């Protein structure tokens, strides 16, 4: 049976599934129940200086799909609203009772060295395994010069990370904000400051929707609203790309990454790990479905690893990174063509409309008596995938690679490229 245990920058955990810093990890009651359910570790809800933060009501909103499933989740919550002493006392007790689980403490303090110097020994005394620096919270805290206000300035990231490395022996994980143009800059800054790892993503600036009667966005707080942080499955593609960007960057290629953002099942986790993550963190999925989702995650990942012959997490970690490249290195001679399985087709015509109106007019609508039949015009099809994406019947349209005599040729080698480069 596959070994799910990890050693993430010196932090040991029986499996790669950690709960992200958020309401699921804001008190001993939750964390103990999470450990009972089987989570490998937690990043405790972000601690700050006393007096604790004060939250508003209401706090969350969501983007729902047609069946009321939550596609994206938005929150305007701040860091912990409990006292530092209470949190530290509970962290100490939980770590003592669960020594084999990873206990990481998230921190957010002003950009001055003194408060960091003061809090780090207190955190170390809890027995925690590491700290995570919350440079990502996009609401409320940036207005006070913290959270994303730090994460958007690489020089500040480097400075604060260095203070932490100076004042604690614990591994330092820098949590990055996605609300930035190029995530490689803050990751490089974290590395320059001595970070042992980065984690990403924190939430994405968002407004989910409005009440058009009162003309106020959600969540509504006394007739007003503010932007929040977006998370849940909607942000997974953004997070995966950012993780890959850091894993592919030669400067940060060996920096351990804890992947966060829209992870809800074992395949999501496997994807993050294949693209560079050494551990994964979950928030929204646990908030929506409870702690027991970790059972499916561990079981599914373990079975898949057995099927694939991966003995441990390291065996497939980063395996998809070399296959993720710049556009200019893709094979110009590769060609796929859509193929419709007529036995599965329900003649809804969605593929025809999509291709006819917005792609390459490569699907023919043939009327045979009262029946319709849809066929791909092979010579017109560019293999864009749109019909396959649009088709409501899974497996009805497949994209079939075409045999080619032509060798691999990327854009830098292509005679049609007016600015052909020297091949890398």
Ligand X SMILES: Cc1cc2nc3c(=O)[nH]c(=O)nc-3n(C[C@H](O)[C@H](O)[C@H](O)COP(=O)(O)O)c2cc1C
> If contact means CB under 5 to 8 A according to the sort of partner, which of ligand X, ligand SF4, none does residue 289 touch?
none
Angle at 207 between CA 204 and CA 208, to 5 degrees: 100
Residue 164 annotated in active site: no
> If contact means CB under 5 to 8 A according to the sort of partner, which of ligand X, ligand SF4, none does residue 260 touch?
ligand X
The Cα–Cα gap between 250 and 283 comes to 30
Phi-psi region of 290 (alpha: psi -120 to 50; beta: other; left: phi over 0): left
Query: Total residues at the site for ligand SF4 (CB under 6 A)?
Result: 29
* CA neighbor of 48 nearest in space, from 159, 130, 141, 154: 141
The Cα–Cα gap between 299 and 61 comes to 31
* CA neighbor of 310 nearest in space, from 15, 96, 36, 3: 3
Q: At closest approach, how far in Å is the CB of 69 from ligand SF4?
A: 22
* CA neighbor of 241 nearest in space, from 168, 326, 160: 326
> Residue 316 contacts by C-beta under 8 Å, 6 or more apart in sequence?
270, 273, 274, 305, 308, 310
* CA neighbor of 47 nearest in space, from 140, 5, 93, 109: 109
Distances from the Cα of 100 to the Cα of 13, 15, 94, 293, 380, angstroms: 7, 10, 11, 20, 59
Q: At closest approach, how far in Å is the CB of 398 from ligand SF4?
A: 10
* Residue 409 makes contact with ligand SF4 by CB under 6 A: no
Near ligand SF4 by CB under 6 A: residue from 173, 247, 282, 396 = 396
**Which residue is catalytic, options 137, 231, 381, 387?**
137
Instruction: Spell out, one character per residue from 38 to 77, where the chain touches ligand X: x when CB under 6 A holds, - when not.
Output: -------xx--------------------------x-x-x
Q: At closest approach, how far in Å is the CB of 208 from ligand SF4?
A: 30
Q: At closest approach, how far in Å is the CB of 51 from ligand X?
A: 16
Near ligand SF4 by CB under 6 A: residue from 216, 360, 375, 409 = 360
Q: At closest approach, how far in Å is the CB of 263 from ligand X?
A: 5
Please name the helix (run of DSSP H) or strand (run of DSSP E) that holds residue 258, with its range, or none. Answer: strand 257-260
* Residue 346 makes contact with ligand SF4 by CB under 6 A: yes
* Residue 232 makes contact with ligand X by CB under 6 A: yes
Q: At closest approach, how far in Å is the CB of 285 from ligand X?
A: 6
Near ligand X by CB under 6 A: residue from 15, 134, 161, 279 = 134
Q: Which residue has the tokens 């995570």?
A: 132
Furthest CA-CA distance within the chain: 82
Near ligand SF4 by CB under 6 A: residue from 63, 393, 400, 409 = 393
> If contact means CB under 5 to 8 A according to the sort of partner, which of ligand X, ligand SF4, none does residue 280 touch?
none
Task: Specify whether the CB–CB gap between 172 and 263 falls below 8 A.
Answer: no
* Residue 152 makes contact with ligand X by CB under 6 A: no
Binding site for ligand X (CB under 6 A): 20-23, 45-46, 73, 75, 77, 79, 106, 134, 136-137, 175, 202-203, 231-232, 235, 260-263, 282-285
Active site residues: 137
């Amino acid at each position: 049976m596959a070994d799910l245990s990890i050693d993430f920058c010196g932090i040991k955990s029986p499996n790669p599934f950690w709960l992200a810093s958020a309401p699921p990890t804001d008190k001993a009651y939750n964390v103990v129940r999470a450990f009972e359910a089987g989570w490998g570790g937690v990043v405790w809800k972000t601690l700050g200086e006393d007096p604790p933060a004060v939250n508003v009501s209401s706090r969350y909103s969501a983007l729902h799909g047609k069946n009321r499933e939550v596609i994206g989740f938005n929150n305007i919550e701040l860091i912990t609203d409990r006292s530092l002493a209470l949190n530290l006392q509970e962290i100490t007790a939980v770590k003592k009772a669960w020594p084999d689980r990873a206990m990481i403490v998230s921190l957010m303090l002003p950009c001055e060295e003194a408060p960091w110097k003061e809090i780090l020994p207190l955190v170390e005394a809890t027995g925690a395994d590491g700290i995570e620096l919350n440079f990502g919270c996009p609401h409320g805290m940036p207005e006070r010069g913290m959270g994303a206000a730090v994460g958007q300035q690489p020089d500040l990231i480097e400075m604060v990370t260095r203070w932490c490395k100076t004042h604690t022996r614990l591994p330092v994980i820098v949590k990055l904000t996605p609300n930035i143009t190029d995530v490689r800059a803050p990751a490089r800054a974290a590395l320059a400051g001595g970070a042992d790892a980065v984690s990403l993503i924190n939430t994405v600036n968002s407004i989910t929707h409005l009440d058009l009667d009162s003309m106020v966005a959600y969540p509504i707080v006394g007739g007003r609203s503010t932007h929040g942080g977006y998370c849940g499955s909607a942000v997974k593609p953004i997070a995966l790309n950012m993780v890959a960007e850091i894993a592919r960057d030669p400067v940060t290629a060996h920096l351990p990454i804890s992947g966060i953002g829209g992870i809800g099942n074992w395949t999501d986790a496997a994807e993050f790990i294949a693209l560079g993550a050494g551990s994964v963190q979950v928030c929204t999925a646990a908030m929506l479905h409870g702690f027991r989702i970790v059972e499916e995650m561990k079981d599914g990942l373990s079975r898949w690893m057995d099927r694939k012959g991966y003995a441990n997490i390291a065996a497939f970690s980063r395996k998809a990174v070399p296959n993720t490249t710049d556009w200019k290195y893709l094979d110009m001679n590769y060609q796929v063509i859509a193929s419709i399985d007529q036995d599965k087709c329900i003649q809804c015509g969605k593929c025809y409309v999509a291709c006819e109106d917005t792609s390459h007019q490569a699907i023919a609508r043939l009327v045979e008596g009262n029946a319709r039949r849809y066929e791909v015009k092979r010579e017109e099809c560019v293999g864009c995938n749109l019909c396959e994406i649009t088709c409501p019947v899974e497996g009805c349209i497949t994209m079939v690679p075409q045999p080619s005599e032509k060798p691999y040729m990327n854009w830098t080698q292509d005679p049609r490229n007016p600015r052909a480069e020297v091949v890398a």
